[in-house]
């Protein structure tokens, strides 16, 4: 179901926009490397949306499995905001943007892990929220101090826009995604045990320390690459994993269904953003916020009702 849905969304993303393309025109545009509408605008944007969506969905499922907490996703525990701070710092001081985003996400993850060590999953989420708020405030300070041109570029990026998508950025996202996906595939059996808890994994001979380092490293890399490409778009990782569990019918976070669900969400959100304002920069992050915020409220309400 998910692969078929993603294929439909891919077709709509390539064909849809201010100028809709029929099947013949779309195929002709794909075959013609000089077609600017397809190869210069829509295809890079689509590649980034699919790659970043898969990365965020995978990161969300891994993080939720490690902590066994559905709120522990990169956008909620501060990783996305940390990557955003690193990006803004790198942009302001003319440093490599990918390195800046990776360092920001890594430092945020390290801070959360150290502060929450031995305190449980809830503390992990709460410290993450605090780290995320701190990183967001620091990013605002950098934007105030930045030259107008760089501040304007950063503001567009921070809104979660794919308007500046290019093939070079798409290449970085897919490189990290494929490397992370290959590593996850090699450790698929052990990663599938995350939801069972530390005691069960230890009884099965899993090295818990190495597993935590592996998962945290994967989540950090996937979050940094996706945030570099699309900005700090929220709720993709948070919404993708529960939807994937509902579709697959399992209680444990399903990594690959979550990745496909994340891709579907981000491609659909970007398509909606382009249809709302075909000639303007409408933030894809705003569309995801409209989808994700009500779901978060519903999730918290349902959790409270079940606790009674």
Q: What CA–CA distance (Å, rounded) separates 96 from 119?
A: 35
Q: What is the pLDDT of residue 305?
A: 67
Using alpha carbons, select from 161, 167, 218, 150 the residue that is nearest to residue 188. Answer: 218
Q: What CA–CA distance (Å, rounded) separates 158 from 192?
A: 34
Q: Name every residue whose Cβ is closer than 8 Å to that of residue 33 and which is 6 or more positions away in sequence.
A: 39
Topology of the domain comprising 2-307: ABC transporter involved in vitamin B12 uptake, BtuC (1.10.3470)
Q: What is the pLDDT of residue 264?
A: 94
User: What is the domain partition of the chain in residue ranges?
Assistant: 2-307
Q: What is the pLDDT of residue 303?
A: 66
Q: What is the pLDDT of residue 256?
A: 86
Blockwise average pLDDT, block size 10, the chain, 308 residues: 90 86 86 85 92 93 82 85 90 87 90 84 86 92 87 83 84 92 80 70 75 86 88 86 77 79 93 80 84 79 67
Q: What is the pLDDT of residue 246?
A: 78
Contact 214, 57 (CB under 8 A): no
Contact 102, 220 (CB under 8 A): yes
Q: What is the pLDDT of residue 252?
A: 59
Of how many residues is the chain composed? Answer: 308
């Amino acid at each position: 179901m998910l692969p078929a849905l993603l294929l439909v969304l891919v077709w709509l993303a390539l064909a849809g926009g201010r100028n809709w393309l029929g099947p013949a025109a779309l195929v002709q545009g794909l075959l013609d490397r000089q077609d600017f509408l397809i190869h210069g605008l829509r295809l890079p944007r689509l590649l980034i949306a699919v790659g970043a969506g898969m990365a965020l969905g995978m990161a969300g499922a891994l993080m939720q499995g490690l902590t066994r907490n559905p709120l522990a996703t990169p956008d909620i525990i501060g990783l996305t905001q940390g990557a955003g701070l690193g990006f803004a710092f790198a942009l302001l001081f003319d440093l490599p943007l990918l390195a800046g985003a990776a360092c920001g996400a890594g430092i945020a993850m390290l801070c959360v892990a150290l502060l929450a060590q031995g305190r449980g999953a809830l503390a992990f989420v709460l410290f993450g929220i605090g780290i995320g708020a701190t990183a967001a405030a620091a990013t605002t300070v950098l934007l105030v101090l930045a030259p107008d041109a760089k501040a304007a570029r950063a503001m567009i990026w921070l809104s979660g826009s794919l308007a500046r998508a290019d093939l070079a950025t798409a290449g970085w996202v897919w490189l990290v995604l494929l490397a992370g996906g290959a590593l996850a595939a090699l450790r698929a059996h052990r990663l599938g045990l995350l939801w069972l808890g530390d005691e069960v994994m230890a009884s099965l001979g899993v090295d818990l320390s190495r597993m935590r380092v592996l998962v945290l490293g994967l989540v950090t890399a996937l979050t940094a690459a996706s945030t570099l490409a699309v900005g700090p778009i929220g709720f993709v990782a948070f919404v993708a994993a529960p939807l994937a569990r509902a579709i697959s019918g399992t209680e444990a976070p399903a990594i690959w269904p979550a990745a496909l669900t994340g891709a579907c969400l981000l491609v659909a959100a970007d398509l909606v953003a382009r249809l709302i304002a075909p000639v303007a920069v409408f933030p894809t992050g705003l569309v995801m916020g409209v989808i994700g915020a009500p779901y978060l409220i519903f999730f918290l309400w349902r959790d409270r009702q079940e606790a009674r």
